Structure 1
Amino acid sequence: GAQNKVIRPFGKHDIALHIDDGCMGGGESIKHTETLSEDEFNDLFDKKYNTNEGFTQSRKKIFHYCIFADNIWTGRSGKSYSSNKFVVADGHSVVNPIIGSHVKGQAGSFMHELGHSLGLFEGSESKGPGYFPGIDNDKSDDWTWPWNTDHPYHKYKNYKSCMNYRYQTEIIDYSDGNHGSGDHDDWSDIMITIKNIRS
């Protein structure tokens, strides 16, 4: 299902992504709450991360912590921190649409938030590796007239990445930067993050 859709693109780049949903001794169910608050999320993370209950010393540098909640405090489909934790709102209409695929919604939203956790952020490329203005651009999925070429809908149409809201649940992959003007190479930035984690 959704896990394989996320694992496959990493494999194409010689990265072995493992999702521990309990099969490797880490994942577990947590108490249900209609809307998970930021404090609840941080408390759950701190309990897991700082007590070695799920993050042993060997896991701390390479594992990222994710919770699938029903809804979250932001009202959005997910929230990521630029370290090693993120949350996906499984009840959100982007993740679980009335029309469309829940599996693709889960996979795309998980991969989108993981991308932030691996160093992909919205902003000017002059800020350094990992920054690109097409990431999280709220206007990139708002249709506009074709002659309005500076509008994000057209400017970033070639940015074929789940980091682009326009494709978040349609393209379960990061871009390699080979799609023409307005594209960005996410994978190169992710490799910089992975290299820094290993050192």
Structure 2
Amino acid sequence: MGSKRAVAGALVALAALALATAGGLAVADVDGDGVRSLSELDAGTDPLVADSDGDGLDDGAERDAGTNPLVADSDGDGLGDGREVHDLGTDPLATDTDDDGLADGREVESTGTDPLVVDTDGDGLGDDREVTAIGSDPTEADTDGDGLRDGREVRDLETDPTEADTDGDGLADGREVEVVGTDPTVADTDGDGLDDGVEAAETGPLAAADPLARDVFVELDYMRGERPDPDAVALVVDRFANAPIENPDGSTGVALHVVVDDAIPREPTTSEFDSVRLRLSHFDNTARGYHHAMVVADARATGESVAGFATTGHVVLQTHGDDGDAYTTRGQAHVLMHELGHSLGLSATRYAGIDSHAVPYDDYESTMNYNSPWEAVTYSSSGAFDDWAYLDKHMYAPPAWRLPTARNASATTSASANESTSTASSVRASPNSPTDASAITPSFRLGQDTLRTPFPVRLHRGQKC
């Protein structure tokens, strides 16, 4: 190779000498690349080849551009100089023309981004940040297709631009932000134990729920002849509506939805195990976010006759004393309020004054206190223990599964004309239970098992009057 170049150089020199001898100028450009052959000999380029490095740029063009005519990729970005100049418009002397953190070659050959634009998809995030830090698609403004641009998700909302549903609540981030108004980073925006996705459903058993304000749903079954006083139910509903709990939408209170449902067969006594059996047979809203309450003829806990017993998600109570006399309206409301408190999570493990005579009522003014007046219908909001403040942070809701189709028909089961399912201002008709369990899809956050046995039992040893 060296001998060939020497021969070529000698020939060029002879040609130049001949021209000069003939009176011409010694400016011969044998390969026509715009550079005198003698200059090419000095520079080390090939005077017989217009493009010494084969990069698509003649040596003269490289001289003018400032690139190296002996190196096909002057800036080492993975793209030949000629391609950068003629096809891409990138700078053959800059590895990263748009200074976005990605080499031009990687943008062209790998990521599919524009090496001339820092933010190829215009989503507000630089290409390099999307590729190396976030994992989003730098060529798609909305990588996860949730209706929000990647930049907005990262900078403003702190959602994941690669996950359509950041908090896993069943609602796409875009719908939460633009339509529903819920927090796309919190599965349960209002803190009532029900995920935003099930609360935002426009049809189905939780259609009345509001994902921006707390809701509690209760299915209330009763044995024949034990239908509760609707005014007692309404009184408890009113106490919840006036609860000192602030909601994300700026309102206060808790919406208590009580579905007075089936009249179930009457049994002389109902123990803890009996209540489980009855629940499995008659609870229509399993896995729908509902608490279950049953009004029975004679509640027995650990063999003892009591006004009621409960655990989270499950309530058993009666509406009359052992002498058969019905409790007053406020007395019924008192028992329901007490047992519902247990179902929501209030227990002696949270505060020693619950289900106890240890704390005077003046110090703990709550229906949960055994020292409370029999007809008191209230949870404490101050004093030794604040029931509402505890529920504000720890309110329990049974798991709610998302249904693919709405089932809105009211319940049709009835025992007789005077004990059929009905509604009042505070009571709604019950939706039908699913006909096919395989048609139900679980929500993303299930919580506790609604069918667990109701132990340990919280008792209400109220007056029998």
TM-score clears 0.5: yes
**2:296 matched residue in structure 1:** 69
Alpha-carbon shift at residue 168 of structure 1 (Å): 5.6
**1:31 matched residue in structure 2:** 265
> Residue type matched to 1:91 in 2?
H
Distance 1:133 1:195, change over 3 A: closer
Task: Provide the secondary structure at the position in 2 that maps to 1:65.
Answer: strand
Amino-acid identity (%): 28
Distance 1:170 1:118, change over 3 A: same
Distance 1:176 1:93, change over 3 A: farther
Distance 1:19 1:158, change over 3 A: same
Distance in 2, Cα, partners of 1:94 & 1:105: 15
Distance in 2, Cα, partners of 1:168 & 1:33: 30
Distance 1:134 1:94, change over 3 A: farther
Distance in 2, Cα, partners of 1:65 & 1:95: 24
8 A Cα contact 1:175 1:184, kept in partner: yes
Question: 1:5 aligned to 2:5?
Answer: no
CA shift digits 1:18-50 (9 cap, x unpaired)? 1100xxxxx11111122123232111112345x
Distance in 2, Cα, partners of 1:94 & 1:166: 22
> 144, 161, 169: which is aligned to 2:366?
161
Distance 1:93 1:172, change over 3 A: farther
Alpha-carbon shift at residue 89 of structure 1 (Å): 2.2
> Residue type matched to 1:106 in 2?
Q
**2:43 matched residue in structure 1:** none
Distance in 2, Cα, partners of 1:196 & 1:94: 35
Alpha-carbon shift at residue 176 of structure 1 (Å): 0.2
**2:258 matched residue in structure 1:** 19
8 A Cα contact 1:80 1:116, kept in partner: yes
Q: After superposition, where does 1:30-109 map in structure 2 within 5 Å?
A: 30-49=264-283, 54-55=284-285, 57=287, 59=288, 61=289, 63-74=290-301, 75-81=305-311, 83-92=312-321, 102-109=328-335
> Residue type matched to 1:80 in 2?
A
Distance in 2, Cα, partners of 1:136 & 1:173: 14
Name the larger-Rg structure. Answer: 2
Larger proportion of helix: 1
Distance 1:66 1:185, change over 3 A: same
Q: After superposition, where does 1:105-116 map in structure 2 within 5 Å?
A: 105-116=331-342
Distance in 1, Cα, partners of 2:391 & 2:370: 19
Q: After superposition, where does 1:135-146 map in structure 2 within 5 Å?
A: 135-137=354-356, 140=357
Alpha-carbon shift at residue 159 of structure 1 (Å): 0.8
Alpha-carbon shift at residue 190 of structure 1 (Å): 1.3
**1:176 matched residue in structure 2:** 381
Q: Which has the higher contact order (CA 8 A, sep 6+)?
A: 1
Normalising by the residue count of structure 2, what TM-score does the alignment of the two structures yield?
A: 0.31
8 A Cα contact 2:344 2:396, kept in partner: no
> Residue type matched to 2:391 in 1?
I
Distance in 2, Cα, partners of 1:96 & 1:176: 32
Distance 1:194 1:38, change over 3 A: closer
Q: What is the aligned-residue RMSD (CA, Å)?
A: 2.6
Task: Provide the secondary structure at the position in 1 that maps to 2:293.
Answer: strand
Distance 1:191 1:132, change over 3 A: same
8 A Cα contact 1:88 1:110, kept in partner: yes
Structure 1, unaligned runs of 5 or more: 22-26, 124-130, 141-151
Alpha-carbon shift at residue 94 of structure 1 (Å): 11
Alpha-carbon shift at residue 5 of structure 1 (Å): 1.1
Distance 1:38 1:187, change over 3 A: same
Distance in 1, Cα, partners of 2:366 & 2:296: 24
CA shift digits 1:140-176 (9 cap, x unpaired)? 2xxxxxxxxxxx364x532111001122633211000
8 A Cα contact 2:355 2:370, kept in partner: yes
> Residue type matched to 1:10 in 2?
F
Distance in 2, Cα, partners of 1:106 & 1:87: 12
Q: After superposition, where does 1:146-157 map in structure 2 within 5 Å?
A: 152=358, 154=360, 156-157=361-362
Task: Provide the secondary structure at the position in 1 that maps to 2:258.
Answer: coil
Normalising by the residue count of structure 1, what TM-score does the alignment of the two structures yield?
A: 0.70
